[in-house]
Structure 1
């Protein structure tokens, strides 16, 4: 396996979401009031109209039966197929939002039938864009993304809460905090630290004193071209953003040299049919992002293969391929990967 592991080494930093101040409560929307019952209009019918209506209905039913019989006979003679019944689609099928794994359940053995992401990109019905999957980790909608020389932050709406997903590109430390935003800026707090970003600068303060400030090099909204397929290398097989649903993958190779990434990843994909490639900082929280000591600060790409089934199935594949294994999930310690007995 080439390159660094997509999880921390001896000096690795786990996801920095412990100790974050709780998000302000968001009250549920008020339910709509009940509709008035659709009862009959007030007042009775004039006397004698009941019999007239009864004879009229009977005549209508008789004529209808004759017409239906004629249609059935015609369909039988000429083979005209009956129209299919319409299929009802529930509103829950239009946008199914996956839940993030709870921190205390990190790397627990999954159920015996764990769903696995498809190794070939398929049409997505979640309502998430590629930018949502990459920067918001399949948890919500991206509002904007800012990147300076050392830091990157995605501002996302997750479960109705504005959320800061930060990355220190030099140490690999990931930070997830509740945030407050305007149309072109955002602020997040953790203890006595504050993370402030706008289209011009990225600033970190401690006790209201600036301890780091860098010029903002990139500022992307969802409509920016860079947000359509984040991290893609232009190969015949596009980059993947597998769902962070607890399914298992094995790591067939990691790559972080910009001069050779394209050729090496393309070769690894062709040598391993059914595999896919991803960028660790644009995938689930179980992967470690780039750092100076792990990848010389360069983005880390990984070629992975989805393994459907239970932990024993993943462990068997790990043994067969002599590869490490990961559960695709958020809110976990990125230093841990699947351990087989």
Structure 2
């Protein structure tokens, strides 16, 4: 009985051992199989890694070549941009120089007219002197001093009126125009340079710039012509005439005319032998035309100057009183008209309506 049980136990142990052995063998076989699979996967990974590395090594030179090509392209583009910038700068510099040259030519106009330093209106009763200073480019400074007297007798009595105007003038060609009015008198003039003389014209009313009858208009000859004592010469002639008591007569040629002598016609044109009107006679013509009396305290008519054709220029103005109680000696002048009188024919022309 006991032997039978032992045998059964032995058999059970052997069976259990066999089962356990089989299990161990299966696990070993599985482990070996897994190991082989892992080794195959690792080899496959190594092969893939090597192929990847080869591919990377192959692409790196290409990338390097691409980078170098890109660098060269960028360098070329940069050089081209630099060249373009330098060309643009060169053009800008050239344009700037041209602009500066053009600007210089425009901003610095040089007048070719010689304005000199002094010009003279050489009229005994209406003398005037222009003084030019600081003539520079298109501007100059000037002053005009003018006088007026009615005649030699008035000059001897000291009845000489004086006026002056000064300022800065802008030059354009041969014309210099006063830029601003005189602060005290409102006078403004224009001077036209004809090389041998300057013609002065008042742009505004200049009657307040001088005494009675003083005008700046007229023709001024080149140079400062010295003033003569013309009134003294007339005084000497008057004294000689008064002392003799009578005018001297020319000797009469009592010789009998020669019958055979052919008379020679006077070749001098009648116009030249015709006596000329005096300044006073021209003034009187204007007074009669305007209906002024000789002693009219309000209206004044005075000779100003000769025009280019030798006609007398007459100034007609009115003495205006701001206060009725103010004497006429303190009134200011207001121009009523300018007239031209032909000294040969007495013809009158209105210079305002028919300049």
Query: Could you say which structure has the greater relative contact order, defined with CA pairs below 8 angstroms and 6 or more residues apart?
Result: 1
What TM-score comes out, normalization by structure 1 length? 0.21
TM-score, normalised by the number of residues in structure 2: 0.20
